Amino acid sequence: MRRLKEILRNEYIGAVAIGFLLAQAAGALISAIAQPIVTYYQLRSRPTSAFAAQSVFNWPQIFSALTSMALHLIVALLLIWWLYRRGKTALPASTKPAPVAPPAK
């Protein structure tokens, strides 16, 4: 798993995957917002009847879009947490800062 994590992080594959997931979540949110608006304008031009009241909201489609958005966001956040969190790893010997000498009097 450590090797896979290094490949995903160092080759920017993880960043691309996270960006794709966030774009999918944004698309699902836009779909959930736009669907009632489009349905409203479509139903506005049709003749109405007292016996056939139609709802502007297609609840199953809105629920599906919001669920899809939530799942994409959860997976993106889990990938961000797994790939980019700071662990309790020590610095390699070559990157440790050199000790600073006290100032001379």
pLDDT of 3-18, one tens digit each? 888 888 888 889 999 9
Beta-carbon count within 10 A of 11 CB? 10
Residue 18's closest CA among 82, 66, 67? 82
Locate the domains of the chain by residue range.
2-46+56-84
Whole-number Å distance between alpha carbons of 47 and 35? 20
pLDDT of 16-26, one tens digit each? 999 999 999 99
Local structure of 28: helix, strand or coil: helix
Query: Using the 8-state DSSP alphabet, how is residue 94 labeled?
Result: G
pTM: 0.69
pLDDT over 60 (residue 91): no
pLDDT of 27-85, one tens digit each? 999 999 998 888 888 877 777 777 766 666 778 888 999 999 999 999 999 999 988 88
